Chain A
Amino acid sequence: MTRYVLIMADIGYVVLLIAFGLCIYVPVVAVIGARTRRTPLILSAEKAVNAVFGLLTLAAACLIYSIVTNDFQVKYVAEHSNLHMPLFYKITAWWGGQEGSLLFWVWILSAFSALVVAQNKHKNRELMPYVCSVLMSTALFFLVLLVFAADPFAKLPPSRVPPDGAGLNPLLQNPYMVIHPPNLYLGYVGFTVPFAFAIAALITGRLDSTWIKSTRRWTLFPWYFLGVGILLGGHWAYLELGWGGYWAWDPVENASLMPWLTGTAFLHSVMIQEKKDMLKVWNVSLIILTFVLSIFGTFLTRSGVVSSVHAFAQSTLGYYFLVFLALVIAFSFFLIVKRWDLLKSKNELDSFLSRESIFLLNNLVFLGLAFTVLWGTLFPIISEAVKGTRVTVGPPFFNQVNVPIGLLLLLLTGIGPLIPWRKASWQHLKRSFTYPILGALVGGTVLFFLGVRHAKALLAFTIALFVAGTILFEYTRGTLARREMTGEGYLKAFFTLISKNRRRYGGYIIHLGIVLIFVGVAGSSAFQVEREIALKPGESAIIGDYTIKYQGTSFKSDPNKTVASANLAVYRRGEKLSGLVPEKHRYLQGDQMVTTEVAIYSTMKEDLYTVLGAVEDDNTAVFKFVINPMVLWIWIGGFLFMTLGTFVITLPTLEELRERERARQLEFVTEKKVLSRA
C-alpha cells in the first residue's frame, strides 16, 4: 500500500473547498442580517469576504508553488509548464491554462470584493449586504467550476507522471500574451462590482444615483483595462500572427469587444441619470447586460461553441456557464419588473437638440454595434439550429455594417460635448460648430486634392478632423474663459481648467484617442498594399516607396528551438533606412510549433511589415511584404491617450486629498472617543 504524501496541491484543493463554503455562508448570512437588521451578521459576512480573499490567495500560492517546483504529478503543471521554462513564464502559467485562469478570475474577484468592503465601511451600509451577496455568489459559480469541473489541483496517477511537462504554448511565451489576459480579467471582473451595486439597489429599492456615484471608479477602471486588454490582443495579433492585420472579427475577439461596447454606453448614459434623474431602467439594464456579456465573453473564449464545425460545447464547462447566465438574466429581469414603479422617472427629455438626446443616440449606436457583433458571432450556431447547415460570416459582414455605424458614432463624439444639456438654441449651435465644421470641410477637400479618393476613408478623415476640431475648440474656449476670469497665464489656466473639470477634459483626451484609432484604422484598411514574392539572396523587391534587398537567411539553434533569420535591407530613394530581420522559430518539443516573428519598420505615416515564409535549401525565401498606413496612430491613440485620459479623470486633486485626510482624521477621533467611553 502506497503512503499518501500531502503536497501543496492538496492544500490548495482543501482551501478551495473552504472558500466554496464561505461563498455560501456570505450571501445567506448577509441577507438574513439585512432583513432582520442584525448588524453583527452583516459584519460577519464582510469579514468572511476578506477571508475568501485570503484563502484564494493561498490557493493561488499553492498552484504557483507547484508550477515553480516542477511538480508534474499535478496535471495542470504537466500540461502548462516544463523544466526549462523561465521563472517569469512559470509564474504567469497561472493563467495560461483553463483551470488556472478560472482560479485567476475568481482570485481577482475576491480581491476586488475585499476592496469594496474596505471602501464602504462607513457608507452604503444598506446596499452592502446585497453587494457582498452578489459578489460572493458570482465567486461561488467560479468555485463550482473549479471544484467540480476544472480542478487546477487534479493529480495524475503515479504511472502517468511525466519526467518533464509540455510547457506553455510558445505563442504564449511572449510579454503581450502575459499581460493580455490579466487586463481583460480586470475588466470582466471589475464590471461585476457596479453590477452588484445595481442589483443591491434594485433589491433595496434605493434607485437614486447613489449606487451610480459610488461605482464611478469601479466602472471607469474595468472599462479602461478591458479596452487596453482588447488593444493588447490586437497588437499581439499584429506582431505575432503575421497576417498583416490586427483584428479579424474572430469569435474570441468579438467576445471581449461586446462588453466593452455596452460598458462604454453605460459610462455615458449614467451621466444623464446623474444630471436629470432619468433612464434608471436603462442604466440598470445596461450594467446587467455588460456583466452578462462579460461572463458570456469568458464563456465563449473557452467553450469552443462557435469556432469548430458541427461541435457544441467542447467541454462541459459550457453548460455550467449557460445555466449561470440564464439564472442571472432571469433574476435581474424579475427584479426590474418588481421595482418598475421606482424606476420610472418623472422627468422627461426636453428636446431633440440636447446633450441627453445625443447621449441616447450614442447609446443606441453602441448597442447597435454590440448587436451586430453578437449576431455575426453567433450566426453559425443560429443558422445551424434554424436551417440545419452551418453558415458563417466574416470580416466583410462586420465591416459592411460596423463601418457606417462607427462613422456615425465618430460624428456624435464631436457633436455631443458641444451641445448643452436640456435644449440648444440655434445661436449656440452656430457659435460652437461653425469653426470645427469649416475646418473639417477644408481639411477634407485638401486631402481629396492630395490624392485621397477612397470614399469611406475620406469621410472618416473628415469627421475625425471635425471631432478633433471640436475638442480643440473646447480646450481653447475653456482656457481663454478662465484667463479672462482669473487673469492667469495661459499654461496655468489650461491646467487649472482641466483639474477643475477632470471628467470633461479627461474625457476629451480619451475621445481624441478614439479619433486617432479611427484614423489609423481607416488608413490601414483603405490603403493597405501587399506583395508576396520569392527572392534569392541578393535580389530585391519593390513595394510602395521602398526597395527591399534580401541578403540571405542564417540559422541558429538552442535547446528550445531553431531560428531562421532573414536579413533584409530597406532602402527608400536610394537611402538605406534600416535592416529588418523577420524570423521563423521552430520549437523542438511537443508538437514542433512554428511561430512567426514579424519585422516592422514603423513611422507615423506607415508600417513596412515583413513576414518570412518558407526557406528553400538554396536560401530562396518567400516573403510577404505589407505596407500598413498609419497603424502607429492606433497604438498611440489607444494606449497613450486612453491611459492619459483615464488618469486625468481619476486623479484626485490636492483639495480632494486634503478633504479625504480630514475625513479620515475625523473618523479616527470619533472612534477613539467611542472606544474610550466603552
Chain B
Amino acid sequence: MNKKKLRFVIGGLVIAAAITYMVFASARSTMVYYVTVDELLAKNTSFHGEGVRVAGKVVPTSITKGPQPTEVNFKVKDKEGTQILPVYYKGILPDMFKDEADVIVEGHYNSDGVFHAKTLMTACPSKYVPEDKQQHVSTEQLKSY
C-alpha cells in the first residue's frame, strides 16, 4: 500500500473510530434498564435513583386522577398479577390508557415505594391490531426528553 492510499485508509479509520467511540460512550451514558414489574421489585435497591423503564399491566380500578388536573396515580402488575407497583404520573394520558392496558413507564423508583414516571406509553391490548403495525402504531410517546 503506497503512502497516499495509506493516508486515506488512516483518515477513514480515524473517522470510523471517532464515530464508534461516540456510539459507545453515548450508549453508556443514556442507557436505561428495561425490566418487568417483578424484576424491579426484586432488585429495587439497585435501581434507586437510576432511570429505569418498566413494563406491566394496569391493575383494574386502580386509576385515580390526582388533585391536580393532569396528575394520576395507578398501579401496575406483572404478568402473573402477583406483584404490584404504584405509579405516579403527571401529564396528558395516552389514548389507550385504561384498566388492563399494557403500559411502559420510564422514570425513577423512589424510596417512598412509588414509581415516578417521566413518560407513559401504552400498547394496544387488541389482538386485532395487525402484527406489523402493533409496536409502531399503538405506542404513543408523550413527554419528550
- Chain A residues within 8 Å of B, Cβ to Cβ: 79-80, 96-98, 101, 166-167, 169, 171-172, 177, 241-245, 248, 250-253, 301-302, 304, 306-310, 314-315, 348-349, 352, 357, 360-361, 364-365, 368, 371-372, 375-376, 379-380, 383, 389-397, 400-401, 404-405, 528, 530, 532-534, 584, 590-591, 593-596, 611, 613-614, 620, 622-624
Contacts and interface: CB of A to CB of B under 8 A. Distances in A.
B96 A309 contact: no
Central interface residue in B20, B93, B125, B131, by most chain A CB within 10 Å? B131
A171 B138 contact: yes
B142 A364 contact: no
A415 to B, nearest CB: 15
A390 B31 CA distance: 10
Interface in B92-116: 92-93, 95-96, 106
A361 B15 contact: yes
Contacts of B15: 361, 364-365, 368
B30 A591 contact: no
21 contacts: A169-B129, A241-B140, A242-B95, A242-B140, A243-B141, A243-B144, A250-B139, A251-B135, A252-B136, A302-B131, A307-B135, A315-B131, A352-B11, A364-B19, A375-B23, A379-B27, A391-B31, A400-B22, A404-B22, A534-B69, A624-B92
A611 B95 CA distance: 11
B140 to A, nearest CB: 5
> Majority SS of interface residues in chain B?
mixed
A590 B5 contact: no
Contact of A314 (B7, B65, B95, B131): B131
A240 to B, nearest CB: 9
Given A171-B137, A352-B7, A392 B34 contact: yes
Contact of A252 (B20, B106, B130, B135): B135
A591 B128 contact: yes
B136 A253 contact: yes
A394 B30 contact: yes
A619 to B, nearest CB: 13
A143 to B, nearest CB: 18
The size class of the interface chain B forms with chain A is: 35 or more
A596 B32 contact: no
A534 B70 contact: yes
A169 B23 contact: no
Contacts of B70: 532-534, 613, 622
Please name the 3 residue pairs, one residue from A and one from B, whose CB atoms are nearest each other, closest first.
A534-B69, A591-B126, A307-B135
Interface in B10-39: 11-12, 15-16, 19-20, 22-23, 26-27, 29-36
Contact of A595 (B31, B95, B132, B139): B95
A252 B31 CA distance: 19
Contact of B126 (A361, A397, A590, A596): A590
A532 B124 contact: no
Contact of B22 (A349, A364, A401, A623): A401
Contacts of B134: 304
B95 A594 contact: yes
A533 B11 CA distance: 53
Contacts of A360: 8, 12
A349 B9 CA distance: 11
A594 B139 CA distance: 12
Contacts of A352: 7-8, 11
Contact of B92 (A302, A349, A400, A613): A613
Contacts, number: 181
Given A307-B139, A401-B23, A595-B95, 19 more contacts: A98-B131, A101-B132, A166-B128, A167-B128, A169-B133, A241-B141, A250-B136, A309-B34, A309-B35, A309-B36, A349-B5, A368-B16, A375-B23, A390-B34, A392-B32, A392-B34, A393-B30, A394-B30, A400-B26
B96 A594 contact: yes
A394 B145 contact: yes
B144 A96 contact: no
A372 B23 CA distance: 6
A418 B97 CA distance: 53
A420 B97 CA distance: 58
Contacts of B125: 591
B51 to A, nearest CB: 10
Nearest to A171: B137
B132 A302 contact: yes
Nearest to B8: A349
B130 A611 contact: no
Nearest to A237: B136
A534 B36 CA distance: 32
A250 B95 CA distance: 18
Contacts of B95: 242, 584, 593-596
A393 B25 CA distance: 12
A620 B70 CA distance: 12
B55 interface: yes
Central interface residue in B11, B34, B130, by most chain A CB within 10 Å? B130
Contacts of A594: 95-96
A393 B27 contact: yes
Central interface residue in A169, A371, A528, A533, by most chain B CB within 10 Å? A169
A96 B35 contact: no
Given A98-B132, A245-B144, A614-B93, A390 B35 contact: yes
B75 interface: no
Contacts of B22: 372, 400-401, 404-405
B31 A392 contact: yes
A49 to B, nearest CB: 27
